[in-house]
Amino acid sequence: MKKKKALMIVLAVLALGLAGLMLSGCERDRELAAPTGLEITNDVLTWKAVEGADGYTVEINGEEYKTQNNSLDLFEITNKYGAYEIRVAADSVTEGVLSSDWSEQTSLNLTMPDWLQVYQTADEKGFELCVVDKTKAQGKLIVPSFINGKAVVGIRANGFYECTGLTGLILPDTVEYIDVNAFWGCEELTRVRWSAGLRKINSGAFDCTGLETLVLPEGVTFLGGNAFGHAKLKSVSLPSTVAKMTATNEKSDANPFAFCENLEEIYVAEGNKAYKSDGNCVMRREDNTLVAGCKKSKIPSYTEHIGRSAFQGAALESVALPEGVTSIEDSAFAHNDRLKEITLPQSLTSIGKYAFLWCAALGKIAIPDGVTSVGDNAFSTCVSLKELALGAELLNAGCGLTELCVALEKITVSENNESFSGEGNCLTRKADSTVIAGCASSKIPAGTEQIGEYAFCGQTQLGAIDFPDGLKKIGHYAFSCTGLKELKLPRGLQRIGSHAFGNCIELEHVQIPDSVTYIGTNAFVCEQEIGTYYVCTSMTAVITDSLTELKEETFISSCTIYTSHTAMPDGWKNALLVDGFRQAPKVVWGCELALDDDGLPYVVSAPLNLHEVTAHYLATSITGYAPERNGWVFKGWATEPQGEAEFVPQKTELEFNPVLPERLDFRLSTARLDVRVLLYFYDKTYEKQINSIGQEQLEQLYEAGAERLYAVWEKI
C-alpha cells in the first residue's frame, strides 16, 4: 500500500512538471505580428508599429539594418540608381515571445533622371555633372559614380544653380571637387552625403542652401570664400585636412560661412596643421588670424588680425576687440545690421575696405590714434551712424567712407593729425586739398580744390551745398544723393566726374560754368529702376559752347539742354545716345547765352524750335522744359527783346507710386546707391515747369516770320 502511494506521488509530480513544460512551450511559441503598411516618403521608410516589438529588422536587397522605431532613414542607404526590394520584421528579445515573420515586400525603383548632363574634364579622364533643365530637378540628386566607364569626378561650376526643387544630394566617393556656385540658391537642399574622395569645395558652392548641420569628411583640403554663405547652418565641423579657406584663385583667407546668421558652433578637428578652433572661432595658426566666427564667438585674447569677411553677416550685436589686434581686414564685420557698438583696441593700425559696411544699427565709431589706413567704403551704409571720429596717425583714407551714412552729423579728426583735417565736418586730405568724406551738415572748407569720389554719395539729407572759390574738380559719384535740390557750380570749375550728380532726383536745373572742359559719363543721370518702373526726373541744363566734350549718356534723363552750340559737336554724340527704355534729352541749339555775376550762363534767347530735339529715339514731339537761372524766376517767352512774356510756363505734377518688389536682394550690390535708396522714391510727388507753347502756336509764329523767342526773367 505504501509503495502504491509513493508511486502515485511520483506520477503526480511528473504530471505537474509536464504541464509546466507544456505551458512554457506555449508562451515561447507566441509570435509577433508581421509589420504592415510599409510606405516611403521623402527617403524615410515607415510602417505600422507592432505591439510588443522590441525593435525591427529592415532587409534591403539582402542587407539588414536594425532600428528601434517603426521607421528607417533611407537617404544614404539608397545611394545608387536601381531597384531596391524591402521587407521588415518585428524583433523580440522578450522571453517567450518570438520575432515576427517578414512583412510583405515593397519595392523602390530609382532611375537616372533625364535632366542630368555630363561634360568631360579638361584632361578627358573623367566627367563633370550639371543640370539640363533646372525646373525639372526635384527631390534627392544621386550623382552616379561612373558613366560609360569614366568616373564622375566633379560638379560643374553653376551646374545646379538655383535648382530650388533639390532637397538632398548623394556624392559618390569618386567626386573630388565641387566647383564655383555649383548649388548656389538651392534653398531646399537640406541633406548631403559627402564623398570620401572630396578634396575641394569652391566659392559659393552651397551658398543660400538649407543646410543646418555641416560635418565635412577627412580629406577635404580647400574651402572657397562663401562656400556655405547664407546657409541655415547652426553648427560646423571641419576636418584636420583643411589647409586653405579663401576665394577661388585668391591668396588671402576668406570666410566660407559668411552671412550664416544662425551659426553658433564652429569646430576644427584635432591635428589640423593650418587651423584650430577656439571660442567658436577658426584661428589660423601661423599668424593668429581669426578667419571665421559666429554670433556665439569669444574672440581669443591672442588674436592679432580679424580676417577678411570673418564676421560678415554673423548677426552680431556688440563687439569688443582685445588689445593686440592690429588689423581688421576687408568686410570683416560687414552686414551686421544689429551691431550697435564696437570697441576698437589701441593696438589697431589698419581697417580694410567695407569693414563695417551695412552695420545699420551702429551709432558712432571712434578710430584709435594708431590707425594709419582706412579702406574704401569702410563705413558705407551705416544708416544710423551719427558720429565718426578719426585719430592722429591716419595717413590713408579710401573713397566712399561715409557713403549712404544718411544720419551722419559729425566728422572729427584729431588736431594732431598732419595728413587730414576735420574742418567743417569734412574729412579733408591736406596734401591736395581734397574732401574725402562729408555729411549733410558739412561746410566745404575754403581752399578746397577737389571733391573726392563718393565724398557725399547717398547723403539724402543734403539739400544744398556751397562750393568755395578755387574748386577745380568734382569726382565720380561725389554728390550722387537724392536730396540735393540746389546746385550752384563755382567759377573756375574744370572737371565733373561720372555720376557726380547722378540720382539727384530733386535737382531741377544746372548752369555749367564756361570754365568746365569735361563732364563724365552719366554725370547728371537722375533715374531709378524700381520693379518695372524707371523714374527719370525733369531737369534743365545751360551749357556754353566752350564745353566740347560730354561723355556717354551724361544727360540720359528727360532733360532739356539749352546751349550756344549751333550744331552737335563731335564730342557730344555719345553723350546724347540712349537705349529704348529711357527718354532722350532735348537740346535747343543756337541759344544766345550770357553770364551772371558768378560766371554762370543763362538763356537770353532761343531759336524758334523748342519743340524739336536731337532726334535720338524718343520724345520727338514734347516741348522742352523752361530754362532756369539762379536767383531769378522764368516768367515766359517774348517774341521781341525786352518784351512782355506772351507764353507763360505751366506747372505739371509727376506722381510716382509704384508697386515695389516683394524682396530687395541686397546681395547684388554692397555699396551702390541704386540698390540702397530705392525706398526713398516711394510715394513722392515732383513739380516741374514746362514750356507751354503748343504746336499750333508755333506754326502761327513761323507763318508770322518770327525767328527767335526771348526769355523774360524776374529777379527773386
Q: Which of 365, 357, 377, 364 is nearest to 311 (CA)?
A: 357
Greater pLDDT, 59 or 523: 59
Q: Measure the CA–CA gap between 224 and 305, rounded to whole angstroms.
A: 20
Q: How confident is the model at residue 524 (pLDDT cuts 50, 70, 90)?
A: confident
Tell me the pLDDT tens digit for each residue of 230-259. 999 999 999 999 999 987 556 677 899 999
Of the listed ranges 9-18, 335-344, 442-451, 595-604, the one predicted with least confidence = 9-18
Q: Where are the domains of the chain?
A: 37-111
Identify the residue with better confidence: 570 or 420: 420
- Poorest-pLDDT segment among 23-37, 209-223, 411-425: 23-37
Query: DSSP 3-state assignment of 429?
Result: strand
pLDDT at 583 over 90: no
CA angle at 206 for the pair 204 and 210, rounded to the nearest 5°? 140
Residues in the chain: 716
**241-255, 281-295, 332-346, 570-584: the lowest-pLDDT one:** 570-584
- 451-475, pLDDT tens digit by residue? 999 999 999 899 999 999 999 999 9
At 550, is the pLDDT very low, low, confident or very high (cuts 50, 70, 90)?
confident
Average pLDDT along the chain: 87
Confidence (pLDDT) at 525: 79
Give the range among 53-62, 63-72, 513-522 with minimum mean pLDDT: 513-522
Q: What angle do CA 554, 559, 562 make, to 5 degrees?
A: 90
What's residue 656's pLDDT? 47
Strand order in the sheet with 538-543: 509-511, 538-543, 558-563, 586-588
Distances in Å between the Cα of 621 and the Cα atoms of 584, 653, 693 are 11, 19, 12
CB count within 10 Å of CB 515 equals 17
Widest Cα–Cα separation across the chain: 162
CATH topology of domain 37-111: Immunoglobulin-like (2.60.40)
The string of pLDDT tens digits covering residues 353-366 is: 999 999 999 999 99
**Beta-carbon count within 10 A of 171 CB:** 24
Identify the top-confidence range among 423-427, 456-460, 590-594: 423-427
Q: Range with the lowest mean pLDDT among 64-68, 501-505, 598-602? A: 501-505
Predicted confidence (pLDDT) per residue in 659-702, tens digit = 444 444 443 333 333 443 444 444 443 445 555 466 666 777 77
pLDDT band for position 11 (cuts 50, 70, 90): low
> Which strand (E) or helix (H) includes residue 292?
strand 289-292
For residue 703, the model assigns a pLDDT of: 78
What would the mean pLDDT of 390-400 be, rounded to a whole number? 97
CA distance 424 to 446: 10
SS3 content of the chain, % helix, strand, coil (to 5): 10, 30, 60
Report phi then psi at 273, rounded to 5: -80, -20
Position 288 scores a pLDDT of 98
Query: Given this model, what pLDDT does residue 566 score?
Result: 87
Segment 167-195, tens digit of pLDDT: 999 999 999 999 999 999 999 999 999 99
d(CA 220, CA 359): 33
Least confident among 25-34, 236-245, 400-409, 444-453:
25-34
- Top pLDDT among 252 and 90 is at 90
Give the separation between CA 583 and CA 556, rounded to whole angstroms: 7
The DSSP-derived string for 14-77 is HHHHHHHHHHHHHHHTEEPPPP---EEETTEEE-PPPTT-SEEEEEETTEEEEESSSEEE-TTT
In the predicted model, is pLDDT for residue 326 greater than 90? yes
Cα–chain center distance at 664: 9
Percentage of residues of the chain with pLDDT beyond 70: 83
Residue type, 35: P
